[in-house]
Amino acid sequence: MAELKERILQILQQPQMASLATIGPDDPNYGVLEIKPYCIECVAPPSHKPEIWTAKQLRLASRHRLW
């Protein structure tokens, strides 16, 4: 697993190489990463007041397509 993490970090650090990567089901180091945001902060126009979305709000919004 450590080798896979290192390989992913190398690809992310060199975006021009990402298209040449051979990470897939046939790769011996293949793995799936699930990234779950716990908080997203954005600035709402026109007041520029920060809006903070928690993981619970994101789940509800994505489930009900509120945006």
pLDDT for 65: 46
64, two tokens: 């009900």
Residue 67 has pLDDT above 50, yes or no: no
Top pLDDT among 15 and 5 is at 5
Residue type at 3? Answer: E
Same domain, 27 and 44: no
DSSP string covering 18-61: GGG---STTSTT--------SEEEEEETTTTEEEEEEHHHHHHH
Same domain, 20 and 44: no
Instruction: Please tell me the number of Cα atoms within 13 Å of 8 on its side-chain side.
Output: 11
Residue 66 has pLDDT above 50, yes or no: no
Same domain, 5 and 20: yes
Same domain, 4 and 27: yes
Total structural domains in the chain?
A: 2
Same domain, 7 and 30: yes
pLDDT tens, position by position, 7-63: 777 766 665 554 555 566 676 666 666 666 666 777 767 777 777 777 666 665 555
